[in-house]
Structure 1
Amino acid sequence: MIEGEYAVPPPGALADEVAAVLADRRDPGVDTFERLLNAVVVHAYRDREALTAALGSVPREFAVRPHAQVACLAGIVEAAVEPVRAGESWENAGTGWLELCQHVALDYVAGARVGELRARLRAGAPVPFPLSAPSGPTGAVEPRHLVERLGEYARLGVRPGPADLGQALLRCGGPVDGEAVRAAEKSDLPEGPRVADWLRQGGLPQPTGWREPESGAPERPGRRRGARVGRRVLVGHEAIEGRGAFPRQFWSVFRKFEPGIGCPHLSLADFRDAHTVATLPWHPEIAAARLLTGVASAADQDGGRGAPAFLEALAATDGPAGPAVHLAVAYGLASAPQEDREAAVRALLLLAERGRLDGELLGRELVELVGLGTLKVALVTESLAVAAAAPRGAAPVWAVLAAALPGLLARTRPQAHGALLAVAADSARLSGARGELPEVTALARRPGSSRLLKEARRLRDALAGH
């Protein structure tokens, strides 16, 4: 690696870390996985015999099914310590690939990269370090880091692997770095002009997306795995230009994504994690849109598997947060698993802290999903109450409720919203909000002493500065 990024531990210490991750079998997280993957590759290039001596005794068999990234790490370790298969061509890695589902397009990209690295290690092809190792916790690669790495490859006389370079390019984005572009233009590698063009355009273009209500009239819960027909709002996106320069395993990302297409992966639980978001860190909308049905399943199917790491990772990226990200947070706020609701609260607060929360958009989504019967008001209320009580949480919660309350009070039974009005009154008071919501004022004027009316009066008074 280039100095200043992941520190590479000695082989013995690396073996201990790898053994701990393999024994634990749970998701090690993006940072740990990428750091260990990088370290194994670096040591295999520097001194394969020493690496084999250190890792050869690390067990790689699993008593139960491990997390996918644990299995990937085990595969990389195996390829690094087994005898080199002289004469084997690593260029054929992934040639038998067949697209089965557009929902898991980002998993195809991640799989292509790891598969290529494994094939190069087995064949004994030199890989000084992965070009696609992240520069930070979101998975993003700084353009200057990629150019520096390419320069080192050129100095060592090593050609980049197409999948490794492709993943590195997808991880580059954000404001154009003119210095990095000029350095790429001067690269001695044949890939230099392509990298320069890619960085000059700011990375992968952001595709045009659209919201799409699930087809069919809303139905009551049925016996088909608890499915709710017609109760979800999903997101699609148009095709993206430029797929031909990438390996075929990457092409699904570039295709037009239609959210109503069938899927053989049920709830997509195996793909909703931070690693998926880190595969395309400047495009959380693509990750959220393609896995939104799985996020929704945790809210509208009893016993649906959650994805807390996925929700937080969406909020932690630097890419645009649009309808898909906000819908994911909306579903998360009313998910059956408590850890998902807690993660959605953290995601909401993180979006707000980084200036990426659209309170009006999230409020509108909550109104529609409650009206469809997808979200339970009690769970949404509980989540927003937790968010409002957090430091600097009152203002973003009020921004959401200011947009949601008029629709909720008009389209659903107001009697069910006493607790929600209490959260609104507290957040309005704590954030110093002012103004008037006619629907709340009308409620406050009604005679009676129910909790609904009391909280409506308290909210009215808070907005009036009383």
Structure 2
Amino acid sequence: MIGDGVPAGLAAVACSADGLIRGDGGSVSEYEELLDAVVRWAGRDRAGLAGALRPVADRWSGVHRPRAPAARRLLAVVRAAVRPVDPEFRAGEAGGRGWLETCQHEAVRLVIDERVAEVCGWLRGGVAAPMLLATPSRAGGAVDPRDLVMRLTEYEQAGARPGPADLGQALLRCGGGPAEADVLRAAAELALPEGPRVTAWLRQGGLPRPEWTVEQEPGPPQPPSRRRGARVGRRILVGTGALPGRGDFPRTFWPLFRPFEPLIGCRHLLLGHRERHAAAALPWHPEVVAARVLAEVAATADQDGEGGAEFLPALAAGDGPPGPAVHLALAYGLGARPDADREAAVAALAALAARGRLDGALLGGALARLVLLGTLRLPTVVESLRAAAGAAGGADAVWPVLAAALPGLLGAARAGTPPRPHPPLLALAADCARACGARGAVAGVAELAGRPGSSQTVREARRLRDVLAGG
């Protein structure tokens, strides 16, 4: 219970903090709005903020802690707000300087954690900031350049300096092309020392997109093993090239700018990096985020990985263009073992299709390749695709995926390579083709349909052939 006499605004902040920490940290908007509200109230009424949040911190004073990474970060902020202000406190002691890059997959998490550590340092040291610069302007995490310049203007008027991590995150959330001319003029008029850097960043349109490579694990495919890391040659991953400009960002941001080599393994792939807030850290670069956590997403399909089901829909909500890493993540999700992860993949597929960003050929090719490697089970994939096709307009989205996957799968079956033709796959393809009015030929279908006999496989192949012929 929030104590009597607490101002309504502070009571709302405490109530929000309690709910988000008890849960999974909330949506991107809820999480970010709470961080911003705590920073704003700390500048107005630090003692009142501490009093309002103390009951929330007290609930977690024992050995128990929130399970979700985002909730744990919010709890750290609440605890920092409750502790007494120490003017001698140095922000680096909050954890922002004690980082250790244990593997290259952690780059996005380091960015998220550094910003929270910076906020905790402000609260402990009594630093007053007008607001957080990186609070998203849109649900997917993007910051509008106009909003960023307006916030920096308020910083200037308040005589405050931006936090390096908060400003760095704000810049990473700006993108999509050069800012409008009036925004650039306003940025150039900023008297803050950071003004020229912000202006140059907005003029270039944000972080450039890196080059990428699609790589398969070396070695002949081997059956999955219960021993962690024993799988060989069964995953397809994506690497990214180096990005320029890291020297202007905090050192904890630097791993994000380094080349990412996906075939360099580590022992830290299941540390909860796959969360919606990872996708929101670089909303204009879903490929960079997806590539870094692709092995963790793959673990939901070929190992016992679970959790982070919100990641794929968040990735699909980003403003940047999806590429091979996003579509591979979607493919692994459609073949995942946990129900929640498959449902998340279906939702992400629908979201990408609704925005005209789903590349059916890319996804279908990835699915076929992963099935042929034995990484994904075809019945599981078909079940997920059928669920996606059942939504409004789903057949239009799923048919291009099936049309791209069928030639490879049927061709392998002709060559005697597993899997055998799967009747439910052909049935789903026929249903989707009829629902969306597809016409034309798909390699391998006519040959299969022309076989003698009346097996279910042949019957469904004939039905698909006839639908595509306009019958």
TM-score of the two chains, using structure 1 as the length reference: 0.94
Q: Which runs of 5+ in 1 are unaligned?
A: 1-7
1:70, CA displacement in angstroms?
A: 1.4
**Paired letter, 1:315:** A
2:31 match? 33
1:450, CA displacement in angstroms?
A: 1.1
Map 1:318-357 → 2, pairs under 5 A? 318-357=319-358
2:122 match? 120
Distance 2:244 2:161 in 1: 25
**Kindly tell me: are residues 57 and 221 of structure 1, through their superposed partners in 2, closer, same or farther at Cα, counting changes over 3 Å?**
closer
1:132 match? 134
**Kindly tell me: are residues 9 and 441 of structure 1, through their superposed partners in 2, closer, same or farther at Cα, counting changes over 3 Å?**
farther
**Kindly tell me: are residues 416 and 64 of structure 1, through their superposed partners in 2, closer, same or farther at Cα, counting changes over 3 Å?**
farther
| Structure 2 residue corresponding to 1:181, chosen from 181, 184, 188 | 184
**Kindly tell me: are residues 251 and 414 of structure 1, through their superposed partners in 2, closer, same or farther at Cα, counting changes over 3 Å?**
closer
Give yes or no for contact 1:131–1:149 (8 Å, CA) kept in 2.
yes
Map 1:29-178 → 2, pairs under 5 A? 29-58=27-56, 59=58, 60-61=60-61, 63-66=63-66, 67-90=68-91, 94-178=96-180
2:379 match? 378
Give yes or no for contact 2:171–2:206 (8 Å, CA) kept in 1.
yes
1:244 match? 247
Distance 2:461 2:52 in 1: 67
**Paired letter, 1:19:** D
Distance 1:114 1:225 in 2: 32
* Pair 1:429 & 2:428 matched: no
Distance 1:267 1:215 in 2: 22
Distance 2:302 2:246 in 1: 35
Map 1:398-437 → 2, pairs under 5 A? 398-412=399-413, 413=418, 415-437=420-442
1:202 match? 205
1:5 match? none
Distance 2:267 2:437 in 1: 49
1:353, CA displacement in angstroms?
A: 1.1
Give yes or no for contact 1:48–1:81 (8 Å, CA) kept in 2.
no
Distance 1:377 1:228 in 2: 19
Q: Which runs of 5+ in 2 are unaligned?
A: 1-6
**Paired letter, 1:253:** L
1:313, CA displacement in angstroms?
A: 0.9
1:441, CA displacement in angstroms?
A: 0.7
Q: Deviations over 1:8-35 (max 9, x none)?
A: 970112212222333x243323222111
Map 1:281-292 → 2, pairs under 5 A? 281-292=283-294
Give the length in aligned residue pairs.
Answer: 456
Distance 2:141 2:283 in 1: 6
Q: SS of the counterpart of 1:230?
A: coil
Distance 2:281 2:100 in 1: 20
Q: Deviations over 1:289-334 (max 9, x none)?
A: 0101111111011x32143211111111111100000000000111
Q: Deviations over 1:122-142 (max 9, x none)?
A: 111111211111112111111
Q: Deviations over 1:82-129 (max 9, x none)?
A: 211122233666233322111010110011111011111111111121
2:20 match? 21
1:414, CA displacement in angstroms?
A: 6.5
Give yes or no for contact 2:410–2:421 (8 Å, CA) kept in 1.
no
Distance 1:248 1:182 in 2: 30
Q: SS of the counterpart of 2:243?
A: coil
Distance 2:165 2:131 in 1: 14
TM-score of the two chains, using structure 2 as the length reference: 0.93
Q: Deviations over 1:350-371 (max 9, x none)?
A: 1111111111111111111111
Measured on the aligned residues, the alpha-carbon RMSD in Å equals: 1.6
1:264, CA displacement in angstroms?
A: 2.5
Percent identity (aligned): 55
